[in-house]
Structure 1
Amino acid sequence: MTVTVTAPSATPTACLVRTPREDAPLRLFCFHHAGGGASFFAPWHGRVVPEVDVVPVQLPGRESRFRERRFHDVRTLAEALDRELAPWLDRPYAVYGHSMGALVAFTLVTARIRAGGRAPHTLFVGAYAAPHLTPALPSADGYADDELARFLVDIGGLSPQFLGRPDWLRAMLPVVRDDLRICASHDRAGLPDPADPEVRLPLDVQAFAGADDQLVAADGVRAWERYARRFEMTTVPGGHFFPREAPDAFFDVLNRSLTGLIRGPGGRRGERG
């Protein structure tokens, strides 16, 4: 007799490191950068105002999901995330995407709004140019391993310790390359045409740029305005990873915005949207 063993299917919370709180007036779903993981947002629980439930999203193929197949296409990834996250988007929420995470978050939100789903109160994006612009990133196969590792060190995304550990690089760089493929897929993601105001989404966007970001220019971040119903941009101290490098100014602005979403018009606590 042949016995077939079937791997268990992903649960609705497979992409979450924990179950969201039921008592929070606002959930903040957070999407990480290329080559990163949900652990990037671990310090945020001590930084973000306690009324907001910080919910890091773990993409497949890394950290707690390292055995799962990674995605190469942002539209396909967003469709999978929409299915997994749907049970948790039934109440007021906002979204933050850092670097590649901004593209992933925007693609997900676009799909949900077009399908008649609940929109976030605000899409927060950090350290990423608007999606109609060519990503300021190397191609997935354009650098040798040592060159790609050096590039990541230079932008603050990788500890210099990795440069002397080829075994670590062999485990980590394939993840980075697949994430670069996600970034390069922006032009086939079916996103709104920023030149056509008739297809603009009913979406508020708040963008952050690092004053010393050597990878993404402030003008590219400011171009998110073309997708927004209402738009605000803040330049904060730090480089490409400013929430980690210079967190105080960033969290000061973010917390003011989140508190405003919770309080709603007139400064009183209540649900919006």
Structure 2
Amino acid sequence: MTSTTAVSCLSRAPRPDARLRLFCFHHAGGGASFFSSWAARVPSGVDVLPVQLPGREARYREPRFQDAGELVEALARDLAPCLDEGPWAAYGHSMGALVATALATARLREGGRGPEALFLGAYAAPHLTPTLPAPDRYEDRELARLLVDFGGLDPQFLEREDWLRVLLPIVRDDLRICASHARAGLPDPDDERARLPLVVEAFAGIDDPLVDPATVQAWERYTRDFRMALVPGGHFFPRAEPGPFFARLNRSLARLLGEPAPAGPPAAPG
């Protein structure tokens, strides 16, 4: 890959020397900064490209999406120049798992270059009971407390009303994206012929209070080649317990690069 194509949802142009691009999609209420340390943790041939959705961090002035179908359509259009240039994979965490899978499905449906693999973390298969609550189920204080309970918010911010006034509308709009998954164009889990022709590897945190590993296992109904890993940690295991997670992820990335598996601590069986 030699292009230096820049697109609005990436903070920089892709590396021209990369052998594989790894597009990373963040969780509800999060941002691209969730992946800020990943470039130093993956094989050197992999270019980590966090995708920044509008309405937060560096794109905070832009209107946010509330509909999964509209979001995926915009991402497919915005990222097309990068996705067509060479091999790519995607990691999606929590809400990002839904977004990454919908993007891959849209690309394959439209005849574009699909991913070499999808990596999905901390999210139940969409045809099951939703991983995340409905956008208007909780009042602001209840929603903030829920975010603290599963590790998505530092408790000190419960007393920062000014900060919560910024964060909670972002969270609610992202929850609306999750609630609209039926419009994301995902494969029908009841139709074996619709399953994605690629590797999907799903990760579940052993101590995740939101997501039961069995509901993550149910992603197997969306693909022809499914793998599952249980890793130490809660809902945000890549941040709280990175060692075992990256050991497993890097073995899979090395496989895509045609390289020997890197040495490292084994992940929990899964």
Sequence identity of aligned pairs in percent?
Answer: 67
Counterpart code for 1:198:
R
1:109 aligns with 2:110: no
Residue 125 of structure 1 corresponds to which residue in structure 2?
A: 120
**Which whole-Å deviations, capped at 9, do the CAs of 1:64-100 have from their partners, x for residues lacking one?**
0001110011111000001110111120010000000
Residue 146 of structure 2 corresponds to which residue in structure 1?
A: 151
1:95 aligns with 2:90: yes
Shift of 1:131: 1.6
Equivalent of 2:26, from 32, 43, 46?
Answer: 32
Once structures 1 and 2 are overlaid, which stretch shifts more, 39-48 or 184-193? 184-193
Instruction: Give yes or no for contact 1:112–1:119 (8 Å, CA) kept in 2.
Output: yes
Alignment of 1:75-224 (within 5 A): 75-89=69-83, 90-224=85-219
Distance in 1 separating the partners of 2:214 and 2:246: 22
Residue 255 of structure 2 corresponds to which residue in structure 1?
A: 260
**Which whole-Å deviations, capped at 9, do the CAs of 1:225-272 have from their partners, x for residues lacking one?**
1111111100000000000010000000001100110017xx69xxxx
Counterpart code for 2:172:
R
Moved segments of 4+, more than 6 Å: none
Distance in 1 separating the partners of 2:114 and 2:127: 21
Distance in 2 separating the partners of 1:156 and 1:132: 25
Greater Rg by CA: 1
Instruction: Give yes or no for contact 2:55–2:63 (8 Å, CA) kept in 1.
Output: yes
Residue 8 of structure 1 corresponds to which residue in structure 2?
A: none
Residue 13 of structure 1 corresponds to which residue in structure 2?
A: 7
Q: How many residues align?
A: 256
Distance in 2 separating the partners of 1:66 and 1:241: 23
| SS of corresponding position for 2:36 | helix
Residues 201 and 94 of structure 1, relative CA distance in 2, 3 Å threshold: same
Shift of 1:12: 5.3
Residues 138 and 81 of structure 1, relative CA distance in 2, 3 Å threshold: same
Gaps of 5+ in 2: 262-270
Distance in 1 separating the partners of 2:186 and 2:241: 32
Instruction: Give yes or no for contact 1:32–1:57 (8 Å, CA) kept in 2.
Output: yes
Instruction: Give yes or no for contact 1:12–1:84 (8 Å, CA) kept in 2.
Output: no
Counterpart code for 2:131:
A
Instruction: Give yes or no for contact 2:9–2:52 (8 Å, CA) kept in 1.
Output: yes
Instruction: Give yes or no for contact 2:87–2:116 (8 Å, CA) kept in 1.
Output: yes
Distance in 1 separating the partners of 2:49 and 2:183: 28
Residue 55 of structure 2 corresponds to which residue in structure 1?
A: 61
Shift of 1:50: 1.4
Gaps of 5+ in 1: 1-10, 269-273
Once structures 1 and 2 are overlaid, which stretch shifts more, 128-137 or 152-161? 128-137
